[in-house]
Chains A and B, each alone.
Chain A
Amino acid sequence: MEILRVHFILQRLIQLIPVVFGISIVSFLIIHLIPGDPASIMLGSRATPENVQQLTAQMGLDKPLYDQYLIFLQNLVQGDLGKSILLKQSVNTLISERLGTTFFLVMYASVLSLLVSIPIALWSAMKKDSLLDNGFRTLSIFGLAMPSFWIGILLMLLFSIKIKLFPVSGYGKNFIGHLYYLFLPALTITCSLAPVLVRPLRSKIINVFSSEYIEAARARGLKEHQIILNHVLRNAISGTVTILGVNIGWLLGGSIVIETIFSVPGLGQLLINSILSRDYPIIQGLVLVFAILVIVVNLLTDLCYAWLDPRVDLE
């Protein structure tokens, strides 16, 4: 079994090589596809020719494209994403300072979504086709049709402006502070994410309830809550973890908008600010980091799935 597992991981890693190669090319091209001279566009209209020349030399933009790509790869392997033009800091520092915030927000939203979806799905599945079940389904179609930034503004209006329960913006200083400050942003994401999770979770639970091992458990005289906890939920949740993992790109993309609304100092806010100030090295670094995050999460999801559900065939 162990050998199979190692083999599975290695195979997944080898499959990733061309994808990672492609990602590096796409992010490399971001600076080079700018129409016109990248250096003068990045510096803006007030730059002197000397400034432009200096930046061109500093970023190696005067070398042939092929050489530039090799240098880019070399720096990448050493973990160096270049230097910001406006903020005069290394892109590594800027991104690593904010990575934790975005990670916290996405994890918070995922946990919150599961806490909301699991009871709803369980309830709907047990009272299948009841008024309640249909009510939740109708509610979730509305959840999917609502733009997340609109939900965010509505929640902000209700919970921070009308009843001053949660802060309008910010991140907080410690763990408890993060939980408090990021509650509304996480809730906003939950409103869009929970409808995506409830539906497959509900049908999975209905499936599990009608399976033979649940019948066997009932026949053995297990209490209903034991059956739900030990058999139904364990089996239903493993599928949901996959859905969460598959949607990580969508979640990260959504967090860009949410971070902008609630002024959360994360990667999304950095991306939007960098676009407005034409700070292309940061944009390049962020695009790369986002793609790598998606790949890593998808890989972890596969492994997690295999771990939660030992029947998964690793071959």
Chain B
Amino acid sequence: MAELQQTAMKKPVRAFRLGLFSRLPVNTKIAIGLALVLIVILLSLCAPWLTPYDPNANDLNNVLQKPSVKHWFGTDNFGRDIFTRTLYAGRIDLQIGIVAVVVPLIAGSVIGLFAGYFGGWFNILMMRLVDVMISFPFMVLIIAIISILGPGLMNMYIAIFLVGWTSYARIVRGEVLVVKQQEYILAARSIGYGHGRIIFRHILPNVISPAIVFAMSDVVLCILTGASLSFLGLGVQPPAAEWGAMISEGRSYIINAWWISTLPGLAIIVTGLGFSLLGDGLAEKIENQS
């Protein structure tokens, strides 16, 4: 029991939910969130048909142009159209948001399931490891891992994965400890079902929703982390278009060309809002159901 209470108390630090717009009915929230996310996905996928420019082609006759009808977001120091680059960058940033969440979600949930169900040395080992990992500031540990592996998109994924699974393992393990005691699990065992079948067919469906709800807010955090790392020069490398890297590239021109650094940030905000509303709406829906 003491252990249960401890798990309930130790909510993941990063799990603060964005319960804003909370007056909106749940379905409206989900609808707005979903609409924003879909808009971002469509804009980045349809980029080649939406703009006449190439995201990486230099045009030295059109350097540092102000936002205009021709160039909605202006052009950068290489004459590249920033609106075009912002659209194409969405492909990488959305990929970060998905890959950096789905892989830790799966790995962390499996670890949490086994640790919670079997207990024993595996549980102790994993939970001590989680305790150690969460003592480091999230960002510091990721930066340290990238410093070992070297900058780049792939290494950034590895770093986020090595740190990210801990939250999911903790959430799922906590849920398993509760569900494990339920009568239907005892019933399943008394029928003689194997551990594998009980874990994946009976426990998993009952413990996974909090992890999925957390994953929705984690998408926002991962996109922001990916953009921050690229901003620091540790993630996606130039000349690839990525929102954080674009904001970083514009810093040297901030006095004469404010649009290079500021306008790509709008894309991050729209994406962040979309996923936050979607995650929040889903979380409330699940809470209302149970």
A5-49 vs B, Cβ < 8 Å mask (1 yes, 0 no): 000000000000011001101100010011100000000000000
A294 engages B21 (CB within 8 Å)? no
Please pick, from B143, B231, B255, the residue contacting A271 in the complex, using a CB distance under 8 A.
B143
**Residue A156 lies at the interface, judged by CB distance under 8 Å to chain B:** yes
B234 engages A146 (CB within 8 Å)? no
Given contacts A150-B262, A153-B261, contact A272 B232 (CB under 8 A): yes
Across the interface, which residues of B come within 8 angstroms of A30, CB to CB?
A: 144, 147-148
Write the nearest CB–CB distance from A293 to chain B, whole angstroms: 8
A129 engages B23 (CB within 8 Å)? yes
Among A59-67, A204-212, A218-226, A282-290, the one that faces the other chain is: A282-290
How far apart sit A156 and B251, CA to CA, in the bound complex (Å)?
11
A253 engages B21 (CB within 8 Å)? no
**Residue A308 lies at the interface, judged by CB distance under 8 Å to chain B:** no
How far apart sit A26 and B258, CA to CA, in the bound complex (Å)?
42
How far apart sit A252 and B268, CA to CA, in the bound complex (Å)?
22
Across the interface, which residues of B come within 8 angstroms of A291, CB to CB?
A: 135-137, 140
A141 engages B276 (CB within 8 Å)? yes
How far apart sit A144 and B182, CA to CA, in the bound complex (Å)?
38
**Residue B56 lies at the interface, judged by CB distance under 8 Å to chain A:** no
Among B125-147, those with CB < 8 Å from A are 128-129, 131-141, 143-144, 146-147
A275 engages B234 (CB within 8 Å)? yes
Among B71-127, those with CB < 8 Å from A are none
B144 engages A22 (CB within 8 Å)? no
How far apart sit A276 and B132, CA to CA, in the bound complex (Å)?
26
**Residue A312 lies at the interface, judged by CB distance under 8 Å to chain B:** no
B6-29 vs A, Cβ < 8 Å mask (1 yes, 0 no): 000000011010111111000000
What would 16 more interface pairs be, CB under 8 Å, given A150-B268, A291-B140?
A: A22-B128, A22-B132, A23-B136, A138-B20, A144-B18, A144-B276, A145-B271, A145-B273, A147-B268, A150-B261, A156-B254, A250-B14, A261-B251, A286-B140, A287-B136, A294-B135
**Residue A305 lies at the interface, judged by CB distance under 8 Å to chain B:** no
**Residue A99 lies at the interface, judged by CB distance under 8 Å to chain B:** no
Across the interface, which residues of B come within 8 angstroms of A156, CB to CB?
A: 254
Across the interface, which residues of B come within 8 angstroms of A149, CB to CB?
A: 227-228, 231, 244, 247-248
Look across to chain B and name the residue whose beta carbon is closest to the beta carbon of A153.
Answer: B261
**Residue B269 lies at the interface, judged by CB distance under 8 Å to chain A:** yes
Q: B: which residues have CB within 8 A of A?
A: 13-14, 16, 18-23, 128-129, 131-141, 143-144, 146-149, 220, 224, 227-228, 231-234, 244, 247-248, 251, 254-255, 258, 261-262, 265, 268-269, 271-273, 276-277
How far apart sit A153 and B273, CA to CA, in the bound complex (Å)?
20
**Residue A196 lies at the interface, judged by CB distance under 8 Å to chain B:** yes
**Residue A68 lies at the interface, judged by CB distance under 8 Å to chain B:** no
Across the interface, which residues of A come within 8 angstroms of B135, CB to CB?
A: 19, 22-23, 249, 291, 294-295
Look across to chain B and name the residue whose beta carbon is closest to the beta carbon of A198.
Answer: B20
A253 engages B137 (CB within 8 Å)? yes
B272 engages A144 (CB within 8 Å)? yes
A22 engages B138 (CB within 8 Å)? no
Given contacts A30-B148, A287-B144, contact A199 B19 (CB under 8 A): yes
Across the interface, which residues of A come within 8 angstroms of B261, CB to CB?
A: 150, 153, 157
User: Which residue, of A129, A147, A290, has the highest number of chain B Cβ atoms within 10 A?
Assistant: A147
Across the interface, which residues of B come within 8 angstroms of A134, CB to CB?
A: 23
Q: What are 5 inter-chain pairs, A to B, with CB distance below 8 A?
A: A23-B132, A161-B255, A196-B16, A256-B140, A256-B143
